[in-house]
Structure 1
């Protein structure tokens, strides 16, 4: 599937977008303007329009893993970082702003103001606590 206005279906449409590695089904990309705050960060995206991580094919999963390991080696050659944040946002409520699956690969540095704050840090803050009304699980 292909979506005309999707930036991840059209990786070469943005002249700033750089394809660092690719397989038959996926690409590892970086965008220089995003390096100012998230130094070394990149994304692994399927070339096919898959709305989210749950829509990936077996081949896209394999290629995602292959690119993740290549990205790790690539980043370790270029940066002196001490860790990673790696993750998927899924659905608008889950933080996914572009409805095309993409895996964030973000090197983390000890001298960052938010060093030690991982993926769950923001969502486990007290101000994110849902109302006191107990919600029951969905039933079919």
Structure 2
């Protein structure tokens, strides 16, 4: 299913021009207009899924192998030393377009700002309680 008012549906399906790195029947990989680093791309399914929780199994199965191909191309073609895969789900997590997409950000090593968080602490009891609360929804 595609949504008429979704900008990523329109980009992924060629209705809005973009600089495309890769395209097949199910995905388009485009260059980010506000890149974190040189070569930052977005992997976008052509079908509409609001976030990771809505992906169908086949689409989900294809995302990481395609991201790995793109990452290898970044290393070989751009001389990237590594790359980040960033995928946000929901506004609280930083998702600004409600269409699943995966950022693939090449890393060159020197002076780049990385995605970091301040490590917190938790007790074994807290982890057990969290596991119990979430685990019931995995069954």
With normalisation by structure 2, the TM-score equals 0.74
Residue deviations 1:89-123, cap 9 Å, x none?
Answer: 00000100000001111011212342xx33xx1x4
| Partner in structure 1 of residue 19 of structure 2 | 18
With normalisation by structure 1, the TM-score equals 0.73
Shift of 1:80: 1.8
Shift of 1:66: 2.9
Q: CA RMSD in A?
A: 2.7
Residue deviations 1:9-52, cap 9 Å, x none?
Answer: 0112332x123223332222214x434x5211111111111000
CA distance in 1, matches of 2:109, 2:72: 19
| Partner in structure 2 of residue 79 of structure 1 | 78
CA distance in 2, matches of 1:65, 1:20: 16
Matches within 5 A, 1:39-54: 39-54=38-53
Residue 75 of structure 2 contacts residue 82 of structure 2 at CA under 8 Å; is this kept in 1? no
The secondary structure found in structure 2 opposite 1:43 is strand
What residue ranges of structure 2 are gaps of 5+ in the alignment? Answer: 121-128, 134-139
What residue ranges of structure 1 are gaps of 5+ in the alignment? Answer: 127-135
How many pairs does the alignment contain?
Answer: 125
